Amino acid sequence: MVEKSEKEDFKYIVRISGTDLDGNKKVPYGLTRIRGIGRRTVDIICNLADIDPKKKIGYLTDEEVKRLSEIIDSYHDQNIPQWLFNRRKDYSTGKDLHNIGSDLVMGLRDDLNLLRKIRSYRGIRHELGLPVRGQRTRTCFRKGLSVGVSRKKVPQSKTNK
């Protein structure tokens, strides 16, 4: 009987929740490559899936990868406090959600489009490319013609001789 060596079981690329992850990275650092998942969220996911955080992603079995995917996709259905979600009280549904990947990007884009559509102050500032949260604009956020100093030329006085 021939046993498989560890190198044969190693996967260099693992696909979880629509994102290709590097198999050489440890689970916490690899999962943070998924948009919408940070270090704190990864710790919770590893605890729920009973996966060792020191293990590399390439050495995870197919069952462990499937378990991770299921927990990530149903993160908001787990017994997790609502303050850990990234989209609380969704505008359209009113539910607490945790979006990842392209759903997160599309949600942000839809929110900004709504702000522009209702002509709110924040929406107008986003349209104009200006700071939204009250920062000063005299010295920061300068681009285009506002950069640099322009001084008036002082005419030289003519002395009559």
Structural domain span for residue 37: 8-83
Sequence-distant (≥ 6) Cβ neighbours of residue 104 within 8 angstroms? 35, 36, 86, 87
Contact assessment for residue 21 and residue 72, using Cβ atoms and an 8 Å cutoff: no
Q: Is residue 153 classed as helix, strand or coil in its secondary structure?
A: coil
One domain for residues 12 and 71: yes
Mean of pLDDT over the chain: 85
Q: What is the pLDDT of residue 95?
A: 87
pLDDT, tens only, 130-158: 899 988 888 888 877 666 666 777 777 77
Contact assessment for residue 107 and residue 99, using Cβ atoms and an 8 Å cutoff: yes
Q: 39 phi and psi, to 5 degrees?
A: -65, -45
- pTM beyond 0.95: no
One domain for residues 65 and 14: yes
Q: How many residues does the chain have?
A: 161
How many structural domains are present in the chain?
A: 2
How many Å apart are CA 111 and CA 105, to the nearest integer?
Answer: 10
One domain for residues 76 and 105: no
CATH code of the domain containing 29: 1.10.8.50
136 pairs with which residues across the strands?
none
Torsion of CA 34, 37, 40, 41, to 10 degrees: -110
One domain for residues 78 and 106: no
pLDDT, tens only, 2-38: 445 556 688 899 898 888 999 899 999 999 999 989 9
Residue 149 lies in a domain: no
One domain for residues 14 and 77: yes
Residue 77 lies in a domain: yes
One domain for residues 42 and 76: yes
How many Å apart are CA 52 and CA 137, to the nearest integer?
Answer: 48
One domain for residues 15 and 79: yes
Contact assessment for residue 22 and residue 13, using Cβ atoms and an 8 Å cutoff: yes
Residue 96 lies in a domain: no
Q: What is the pLDDT of residue 7?
A: 60
